[in-house]
Amino acid sequence: MMTHSKHPRALSVFFFTEMWERYGFYVIQSLLALYLSMHFGLDDARTYTLVGSFTALTYISPIVGGWIADNLLGQKNSVLFGAIILFIAYLQLAFDKTPQNMLVALAIIAVGTGLLKPNIASLLGRQYAENDPKRDSGFTIYYLGITSGIILGTTLPDKIQQNLGWSICFLSASFGLFLACLTFLVGKKRYHIPDYAHIKWNPIVNYIMAVLVILGFLVASYLVLANAELADLFFTLIVVLALGFIFVVAFREDGVQRRKTLAFLLLCVVSMFFWALYFQMFMSLTLFINRVVEPRFYGILLTPPNYVTIQSLGMLFFGYFLQKLWARQSLANIAFSTSVKFSAAMILMLLAYLLIVSSLSDYHSALKVSPALIILAYLVISAAELMLSPIGLSAVTHLVSPNVVSTMMGIFYVSLGLGGFLAGKMAEISAITPQMQDLGLIKFQYYQAFFSLAAVLAVAVIFTLVITVVIKRMVPSVEMDASVLEV
């Protein structure tokens, strides 16, 4: 544990493990739309559907990984298994680039991510005492580790792909997972990181059941990726199951904890809206930049993944100041409420889309779009993400009961996944057909699409402000709590 002046020593383990895991993941995430469009020649609609389903699966899978950790393997074993599975998937992509294998590899990546992500965040959350004022600051530092991995994963692989091809690019992702696994193995031994799941340990039974659950989800993931209609049914079922679990848990809890659990549910709803627009960076915005944005800015070549790098650099810049701000406010017991931070995130996201729409205001011109406003929009998105994602992770570990923390962390990631799936659906309004060759027409199509997304965001901002008021009235007992929702 830690004092009020220091973070836990094991924070560095979580920082670097997630940094290398995110490197591997973003090799795939940042290049997937381009890979599908350029290497396999898929049309925009199919590309967006596949990227949306894959993104959704990688964030919904933590509910399975969280359940496995809580009931079968514990958090530490789940993190290690996830890292090994991801290592294998990236190797598979590197050495077999057939369409069928690609779907299998993407399904395996979803499974591995589900085992690793919720459980490493849960382990970090339990390193802090229940009312430790450093919690939000610690999760922001942890999130900077994630951001560092994203920066590496959106700069280096792009250059590797251009010079050495897709195989070496994907091979670098597997190397990243090797480093993640090594970091966690050494760190958990050195700092004696404990598990927090209370499970009956029977190696044969537990491992067999875990393998069966993993294989079941792997098959389901493959079928979802291969069949768009099945994907709609699958994600609808996920919504029903997640809601059902939250309501069952809330029903079994006492009054105060029940209201905190329901407040957690409302934050998940806000989160879904946010990520639906955020994930356009890997869908409609990726192909938009590739097609109609001037590739050089003051002589510097900027590819679509490099814009994600800019967004991540913005997170490092803003994160440095925000984690200090959260720490000072926590110590003074005047922290912004989580719900207010979520509202600020939605407002900033709306501003970013208005900047993108403004960049297309001269859509009649035959010239490509200047990168200036797009770069500024991505920097605004970085500030928006810091106002929502690390704060949300911190709130989960504090709001929910400890005996279901990994599963609830998984459900928080479900909100990201549903946002990713919704992002794929929303991106289809920007689809460019092969017959559309005129640059002016393409720009006008993107102008209409992003204007529509900005309108959706405006409604979502109003909804989020209403949610904030509701949460404040639901849980007045934690109004002065420094590290969770001030309500």
Burial of 241-253, coded b for 16+ CB within 10 Å and e otherwise, reads ebeebbeebbeeb
Under a CB-based contact definition with an 8 Å cutoff, are residues 410 and 245 in contact? no
In 3D space, the residue among 457, 405, 404 whose CA is nearest the CA of residue 426 turns out to be: 457
- How far is the CA of 474 from the CAs of 126, 245, 432, in angstroms? 25, 20, 46
**For residue 484, what pLDDT is reported?**
35
**For residue 434, what pLDDT is reported?**
78
**For residue 122, what pLDDT is reported?**
76
Question: What are the structure tokens assigned to 15, written together?
Answer: 């920082």
Under a CB-based contact definition with an 8 Å cutoff, are residues 391 and 138 in contact? no
- Residue 431 to residue 8: CA distance in whole angstroms: 47
The DSSP secondary structure of 321-376, one letter per residue, reads HHHHHHHHHHHTT-PPPHHHHHHHHHHHHHHHHHHHHHHTTTTTSSSPBPHHHHHH
Under a CB-based contact definition with an 8 Å cutoff, are residues 151 and 316 in contact? yes
Question: pLDDT digit string (tens) for 268-320?
Answer: 888 898 999 999 999 999 999 999 999 999 988 999 999 999 998 888 788 77
Question: What are the structure tokens assigned to 16, written together?
Answer: 């670097």
- Residue 400 to residue 406: CA distance in whole angstroms: 10
**For residue 449, what pLDDT is reported?**
93
pTM given for the model: 0.81
> What fold is seen in the domain 11-478?
Growth Hormone; Chain: A; (1.20.1250)
Question: What residue type is 331 in one-letter code?
Answer: L
**For residue 371, what pLDDT is reported?**
94
- DSSP class of residue 87 equals H
Under a CB-based contact definition with an 8 Å cutoff, are residues 340 and 486 in contact? yes
In 3D space, the residue among 152, 137, 110 whose CA is nearest the CA of residue 24 turns out to be: 152
- How far is the CA of 140 from the CAs of 7, 9, 194, 456, in angstroms? 12, 15, 22, 28
**For residue 427, what pLDDT is reported?**
92
**For residue 423, what pLDDT is reported?**
94
- pLDDT tens digit at each of 487 positions of the chain: 444 457 777 888 888 999 999 999 999 998 999 889 888 888 888 999 999 999 999 988 887 888 888 888 888 888 999 999 999 999 998 888 788 888 999 999 999 998 988 788 778 877 776 667 677 677 778 878 888 888 898 888 888 888 888 889 999 999 999 999 998 888 877 877 777 766 777 778 888 998 999 999 999 999 999 998 899 999 999 889 889 998 998 888 887 778 778 888 888 888 898 999 999 999 999 999 999 999 999 988 999 999 999 998 888 788 777 767 766 655 433 233 677 788 889 999 999 999 999 999 888 887 899 999 999 999 999 999 888 877 777 777 777 777 777 678 778 878 888 999 999 999 999 988 877 888 888 899 999 999 999 999 999 999 888 877 777 776 654 433 333 333 2
- Residue 154 to residue 327: CA distance in whole angstroms: 30
Cα 79 off chain centre by: 17
- Residue 394 to residue 148: CA distance in whole angstroms: 19
Question: pLDDT digit string (tens) for 22-61?
Answer: 999 999 998 999 889 888 888 888 999 999 999 999 988 8
